[in-house]
A = this chain, B = another copy of it.
């Protein structure tokens, strides 16, 4: 078994099956060709032309969000989008510019908009041994129930900045107080594009590491993580290599961690492929 298969899995995407979702001169999403007709039914919101699907509704953030909400409501009613998550993500042409509208998490894949998340590697250096805190996702999670996960992870909702998201999730998922999570270090990001449901996830994950001492033990408070375990980092990577026990994108976060901490070394024949393919260009 290889590590590279996880990168392949998270980048299963057929460009020819999608058309761009456009706003002005920017691409803001990707719509599967067989869904284009569904959006054509909303002539006051979208126009279909040879370039793709164009968002033509006018107005400010609130007006565009309301227009899109009406479309999502219809798509949910027709079974084309899974039911509302009541969690909203900001949609913009690129990271760092003001959002155009907010979109329910359940509809991200249908519109193929870029979504952002935060993942935290919590590690302990006990003498010579590097160990990682690993969570097991609750059995009732919508995505990847029972799979293994990072110490803390979450999507970036539209009201929150990156670090606010990390602090909120750290408190809820692992009972990490504000003064502890303040010591987390940003260590990069990874990106992938993966067909899922009736659309595509176009995800960017911002990555953080935190060095923890023996007196910290994570405790879940929101029911999303069933249990935590402190695992030897080499054992974690063996498990990533040999199994699909981890949530699909958590494998990528752990491969990036392993590359940065010397747990995967250049004598691995996949080394350069792993290094270069963790970062899909943000086209």
Contacts of A150 in B (CB 8 A): none
Which of B162, B186, B266, B279 is the one whose CB lies under 8 Å from A276?
B279
- Flag whether A275 is at the interface (Cβ < 8 A): yes
B interface footprint on A80-111 (CB within 8 Å = 1, 0 otherwise) = 00000000000000011000000000000000
Pick the interface stretch among A171-179, A216-224, A234-242, A255-263.
Answer: A255-263
Which of B185, B187, B265 is the one whose CB lies under 8 Å from A186?
B265
Top 5 closest A-B pairs, CB basis?
A: A185-B262, A276-B279, A189-B275, A186-B262, A188-B259
Taking CB atoms and an 8 Å cut-off, the chain A residues in 230-283 that contact chain B are: 259-262, 265-267, 269, 271-273, 275-282
CB distance from A179 to the nearest CB of B (A): 16
Q: Please report the C-alpha to C-alpha distance between residue A273 and residue B161 in the assembled complex, in whole angstroms.
A: 19
Known: A188-B275, A204-B272, A272-B282; 11 extra A-B contacts, CB below 8 A, are A96-B269, A185-B261, A187-B259, A187-B260, A188-B260, A189-B272, A260-B260, A275-B279, A276-B281, A277-B281, A278-B279
Contacts of A65 in B (CB 8 A): none
Contacts of A273 in B (CB 8 A): 282
Q: Please report the C-alpha to C-alpha distance between residue A95 and residue B271 in the assembled complex, in whole angstroms.
A: 9
Are A276 and B185 in contact, CB atoms less than 8 angstroms apart? no
- In the complex, the chain B residue whose C-beta lies closest to that of A208 is B262
Q: Please report the C-alpha to C-alpha distance between residue A95 and residue B275 in the assembled complex, in whole angstroms.
A: 13
- Flag whether A206 is at the interface (Cβ < 8 A): yes
CB distance from A169 to the nearest CB of B (A): 15
Contacts of A276 in B (CB 8 A): 189, 191, 279-282
- The complex is assembled from copies of this chain, and their number is 2
Contacts of A96 in B (CB 8 A): 269
Instruction: Give A contacts to B, CB under 8 Å.
Output: 95-96, 162, 185-191, 204, 206, 259-262, 265-267, 269, 271-273, 275-282
Contacts of A279 in B (CB 8 A): 275-276, 278-279
Q: Please report the C-alpha to C-alpha distance between residue A272 and residue B189 in the assembled complex, in whole angstroms.
A: 7
Contacts of A282 in B (CB 8 A): 272-273, 276
Contacts of A269 in B (CB 8 A): 96
CB distance from A162 to the nearest CB of B (A): 5
Contacts of A188 in B (CB 8 A): 259-260, 275
CB distance from A261 to the nearest CB of B (A): 7
Which of B95, B185, B204, B262 is the one whose CB lies under 8 Å from A187?
B262
Can you list 14 residue pairs at the A/B interface with Cβ under 8 Å? A95-B271, A185-B261, A187-B262, A188-B259, A188-B260, A189-B271, A189-B272, A190-B275, A191-B272, A206-B266, A260-B260, A273-B282, A276-B279, A277-B281
